[in-house]
Amino acid sequence: MSDKQIQAAYDLAKQQYADLGVDADAALKKLATIPISIHCWQGDDVGGFESAATEIGGGLAATGNYPGKARTADELRQDAAKALSLIPGKHRFNLHASYGDFAGRAVARDAIGPEHFSRWIDWAKGLGIGLDFNPTFFAHPLATSFTLAHPDKSTREFWVRHGIACRAVGAAIGKALGTPCVTNLWIPDGMKDTPVDRLGPRERLTASLDEIFKQPLDRAHNLDAVEGKLFGIGFESYTVGSHEFYFGYALTRQVLYTLDTGHYHPTETITDKISAVFMYLPEILLHVSRGVRWDSDHVVVLNDDLEAIAQELVRGNFVGRTHIGLDYFDASINRVAAWVIGTRNMLKALLRAMVEPTAILRQHESAADYTTRLALQEEFKALPWGAVWDYHCATANLPSRGAWMDVIKQYEKSVLSARQ
């Protein structure tokens, strides 16, 4: 579409929304302020850059062998910058501890420091973006069935030191970039078959977490978060850090609670959990992925689940209290394109929710006129939000619809294909 066609379509859409009491200009202005934290592990299949190669483990598996995977931190930064250049708005990048610039040296997980991420900080400064961080409690000889809940004290203490080191890295990142780094803690601890003792590992995990979070850090630099999960490969029967465990921990310790869209039963969505959690916690971390059967980490698409999450965030006025990040990895398609697809879809879902004539729907709901509410909910799905999205991309000097794939194809031809 030409700029003139995009403008004409937007003007018509804008008027349609105005007739329903929605200010499309205001929605776009707000959308432009929402950062999505884009995850590093999509770019290299959760490999990381430690000198010792280890299987991912921890109930995680990346499938596919699409050519062009990032092999070094420099290549990953190059790919991420290309993806960011095709996404409207100013966003963030989310790192795992195993993605440091280790210069080929073996650095123990409990010995990592801000110096191993200085090049990431410089890169982020150059792009004007923030960084988030995660300890890496997998892909390591000491990450077997247990880490922070391990029955062996010395192993447990190693992982505690790793958690403490990662908080220090997060705080250094946040201080250097002038925006709080969300440091999110997830562990794969659990059992393949039914345990006899479910309490003991949870008692050990609680003690380990308390030790990790013992030192207060400036919240202007670092925000702590904890993330639960239903199960993983090899941990089908018991996960120590379940939803109930971590929600209770976050509530009593006043850290962020992480809701991951792929960490629940395949038929269970997190939409209804958002307002429930916000009754008791001031902020949350949201990890967005797409579950398909047992696999929780497919590329985010604009489906009913994603739209429902965005609607809940907008309708409840929770956007300013939610740190939104992505969490998936697909090695069967172009990895840079996967970043762009998922992030654009997250933004599209937020935009659709922002231009929804919610006030009209609330009016009918308050009057207990649920028939009209349902009828209008369905009718509003046909409103021309796509014209608003195209305009949003055009004003950011970015291609809309599928035109951005031309850039990806050229990047694949000139850069990714040379990595074989």
Point out the residues that are catalytic.
186, 227, 229, 260, 263, 287, 295, 297, 327
Give the span between the Cα atoms of 39 and 52, in whole angstroms.
22
What's the DSSP call for residue 300? P
The angle at the Cα of 223, spanning 221 to 224, to the nearest 5 degrees, equals 140
Q: How many CB atoms lie within 10 A of CB 81?
A: 15
Closest to 178 (Cα-Cα) out of 112, 100, 92, 256: 92
Kindly state the tokens that stand for 311: 């609607």
Q: What three-state secondary structure class fits 74?
A: helix
Place of tokens 């309490």: 199
Kindly state the tokens that stand for 276: 């429930």
End-to-end CA distance of the chain: 36
Answer for the pair 202, 151: CB distance below 8 angstroms, yes or no: no
Q: What three-state secondary structure class fits 23?
A: coil
Question: What is the DSSP annotation of 168-222?
Answer: HHHHHHHHHHTS-EEEEE----EESS--S-SHHHHHHHHHHHHHHT-S---TTTE
Give the span between the Cα atoms of 140 and 159, in whole angstroms.
11
* Residue 189 one-letter amino acid: D
The angle at the Cα of 210, spanning 206 to 216, to the nearest 5 degrees, equals 155
Supply φ then ψ for residue 300, to 5 degrees: -65, 130
